[in-house]
Structure 1
Amino acid sequence: MFLLRVVLPDRPGSLGALATALGKADADIVGVDVVEQRGDGRAVDDILVQLPPGKMADALVTACNSVEGAQVEFVRFYPSRGGLQRDLQAVEAMTADPTHAEAVLVQLSPNVFRADWAILLEARDEGDSRPRLLDRSPAAPEEIDDVSTPWLPLTRPIRLPDPAEWAPSLAQSTTAAVMTSGDRVLILGRRGGPEFLDSELARLGHLVALARAIGAGAA
């Protein structure tokens, strides 16, 4: 299973042409998600595909490049258990368990945002730059002793700087963060990329606000 992030001309037929090209490469399309519609006449799509044994990811890039105007931004291996989970599904899951809405979001946000892991941290008292690990998704780092939070406090979701500067154990990851409540911060990580888009940061902020509201309503 592979995840492709492709920039396409935002016009009728582009996605169909891409699907045809991928089919010729023996790729089985499992899911498609329009991540962002840019103001320059292009759209960013995440496409989850499955390749038969013996086929390499290079075949996917070659197929995409055969479509006029298509540009592959990223291709990466994706766990076979993964899917393209939508924001609404996360909201429904949080609503079904409102007292644990924040914890539900920690577990679901990696799939929603095609990330590898999520962690929920709490900043300690002033003078101690090391945060406390409150929750983590599967595949998230278990130890965060080397993590500091020089970028706190946050007023909006942001792309974090290179983790090598504040969390060596998270090196090689592209990260984004948003405050959940008080001194709590949710961090998402993608090992090796791609970078979080502005539209993804906006969605992340929206889901965190909903988790906060759902949890408050259950209190």
Structure 2
Amino acid sequence: MTSVSYLLRVYLQDRPGSLGLLAVSLGSVGADILSLDVVERGDTYAVDDIVVEVPRGSLPDTLITAAENVDGVRVDSIRPYTGVLETHRELELVDQIASAPASERLQVLVDTAPRVMRVSWSTVVTLGGGGVLQLFGSSSAPETRLTEVDWLPIAQAGQLDPDATWVPQSWKDSDTRLAAAPVGSSSKALLLGRSGGPDFRPSEIARLGYLSRIVTTILAIPKSR
């Protein structure tokens, strides 16, 4: 029987045994946990991204119900997951960019960023020629062209208002959450889109900022032959 994968973002009380109880509850409805990433951890809670595999035809609502049957667990979002499960994603991204020809480094960045940051798409934008230039985009980047971006130049990574006037209506219709960070200079940015949410957590913005600073450094290094 074929299967499908889902990415659940869950809030759970950070106490001994809570993750084990969640795993047992998900297993009771036929879900196998493939990976778990800690997105954020506070004094009394944790936010985890959990990729689960279930038999094709299983309803996502079944996973939500199973998870929330565990005391202290709340599902923030659930969406189909088609990414490749890999560890050390950030390190691999940095290595791929550094190894690429200088002219291709930003394309490598946008191609790989969706998997690393677990977003739907990514693109590099800048201001020029009296408007917005979308320099590079991932294969899943929307075709809608931007006509303005009132947040450029940008000094540091941050989440953007998904209801701002510059956001295309089609992005709003798909409930796309947005984040951006400078790459190379404050006038050029990596723009991330996460269709259907959830919001970017502070820890994710911190990771994005960390990556953007490393990428900016790499972009300044000539590619040796």
Fold shared, TM-score > 0.5 on shorter chain: yes
Deviation, structure 1 residue 42: 0.6
Instruction: Please state whether the residue corresponding to 1:67 is helix, strand or coil.
Output: coil
Q: Alignment identity in percent?
A: 39
Q: Which residue of 2 aligns with 1:111?
A: 115
Aligned to 2:85, which of 83, 86, 105?
83
Instruction: Please state whether the residue corresponding to 1:51 is helix, strand or coil.
Output: strand
Given that 2:107 and 2:138 are in contact with CA atoms closer than 8 Å, whether structure 1 keeps it comes out as no
> What CA deviation, in whole Å up to 9, does each residue of 1:150-208 have, x standing for no partner?
12222211111125621314222110011112311110001110001111111111111
> What CA deviation, in whole Å up to 9, does each residue of 1:15-72 have, x standing for no partner?
222111111110121211111112x311110011111022100111111112121111
User: Map of 1:161-200 to 2, 5 A cutoff?
Assistant: 161-163=161-163, 165-168=165-168, 169-171=170-172, 172-182=175-185, 183-200=187-204
- Size of the aligned set, in residue pairs, is 213
Q: Which residue of 1 aligns with 2:44?
A: 41
Whichever residue aligns with residue 75 of structure 1, its letter is I
Whichever residue aligns with residue 105 of structure 2, its letter is A
TM-score, normalized by length of structure 2? 0.87
Q: Which residue of 2 aligns with 1:92?
A: 95
Instruction: Please state whether the residue corresponding to 1:47 is helix, strand or coil.
Output: strand
Given that 2:67 and 2:73 are in contact with CA atoms closer than 8 Å, whether structure 1 keeps it comes out as yes
User: Map of 1:43-82 to 2, 5 A cutoff?
Assistant: 43-79=46-82, 81-82=83-84
Kindly report the root-mean-square deviation, in angstroms, between the aligned alpha carbons of the 2 structures. 1.8
Q: Which residue of 2 aligns with 1:137?
A: 138
> What CA deviation, in whole Å up to 9, does each residue of 1:110-158 have, x standing for no partner?
1111110001011125xx3x310100001102341x4311122222111
Deviation, structure 1 residue 84: 5.5
Compare 152-161 and 198-207 and name the one that shifted more. Answer: 152-161
Following the alignment from structure 1 to structure 2, what is the Cα–Cα distance between the partners of residues 175 and 147?
16
TM-score, normalized by length of structure 1? 0.89
User: Map of 1:11-22 to 2, 5 A cutoff?
Assistant: 11-22=15-26
Structure 1's unaligned 5+ residue stretches are none
Given that 1:7 and 1:70 are in contact with CA atoms closer than 8 Å, whether structure 2 keeps it comes out as yes
Following the alignment from structure 2 to structure 1, what is the Cα–Cα distance between the partners of residues 165 and 84?
30
Instruction: Please state whether the residue corresponding to 2:55 is helix, strand or coil.
Output: coil
Following the alignment from structure 1 to structure 2, what is the Cα–Cα distance between the partners of residues 17 and 6?
13
Structure 2's unaligned 5+ residue stretches are none
Given that 2:127 and 2:188 are in contact with CA atoms closer than 8 Å, whether structure 1 keeps it comes out as yes
Given that 1:106 and 1:118 are in contact with CA atoms closer than 8 Å, whether structure 2 keeps it comes out as yes
Q: Which residue of 2 aligns with 1:148?
A: 148
Bigger fraction of residues in strand: 2
Following the alignment from structure 1 to structure 2, what is the Cα–Cα distance between the partners of residues 13 and 207?
33
